[in-house]
Structure 1
Amino acid sequence: MKDYSTHEVHELIQDNNELVVIDVREHEEVSTGKIPTAVHIPLDELPHAISHLDKDKQYIMVCRSGARSNKATEFMNASGFNACNMTGGMLDWKFDVN
């Protein structure tokens, strides 16, 4: 499983329109700000939402510190998706949020 730093994710977002960032934090956490291009799917809702996702896309999983997104990455990859974890999570994200 590949992990990306926040800096690497920021660069990937700038360079790749096909990349999908999924923020797996809870609703109240996301209300403080998320990566502008990120789709919000809380971790406990991911098993239900996965049927609506495209297996041909690359996914970067994000949470507050990197632990929940690591679990989400493992789940996504076990389900046949190409997913990677953003290490350090939003605690390390030093770029714009919305």
Structure 2
Amino acid sequence: MIERIEIITPEELKKKLEAGEKLEMVDVREDYEVAQGIIPGAKHIRMGDIPENLDYFDKEKEYIIICRAAHRSEIVCYYLQDQGFKVRNMVGGMIEWTGELEFK
């Protein structure tokens, strides 16, 4: 049986960040997409680079996984959940994000 992936909406995430919550966010988009803006505080690890970056993740923390439209992030969530990590998918992705952006 496949475990359901927990979700968070862009609006819920924005409210948590505005309230000063310390959140672990990972943006799995490609470099050219991130160049158009990333949520401040998010770590950028491309989807294809997740397997070799598992040492970045801590099983005690929960990670919010972000991509453009929430499809790639959902795939990453299933993968990380299978590895024993706590994850949440930001539904709607960056397409629906209305909060602040950081440009790197």
Q: TM-score range by the shorter chain?
A: over 0.9
Q: Which amino acid aligns with 2:91?
A: T
TM-score (norm 2): 0.88
TM-score (norm 1): 0.93
Map 1:1-98; keep pairs closer than 5 Å.
Answer: 1-13=5-17, 14-17=19-22, 19-98=23-102
Q: Within 2, Cα distance between the matches of 1:2 and 1:12? A: 16
**1:5-59 residue CA offsets vs partner (Å, 9 max, x unmatched):** 1011112333421x20000000110001000010000000000001222111110
Deviates more, 1:62-71 or 1:47-56: 47-56
The secondary structure found in structure 1 opposite 2:101 is: coil
Which structure 1 residue ranges, 4+ long, deviate > 3 Å from structure 2?
A: none
Compare CA radii of gyration and give the structure with the larger one.
2
Of Structure 1 and Structure 2, the greater helix share is in 1
Report the number of matched residues.
Answer: 97
Q: Which amino acid aligns with 1:22?
A: V
Q: What runs of 5+ residues in structure 1 fail to find an aligned partner? A: none
Q: Within 1, Cα distance between the matches of 2:56 and 2:12? A: 26
Q: CA deviation at 1:79?
A: 0.6
Q: CA deviation at 1:78?
A: 0.6
* % same residue: 33
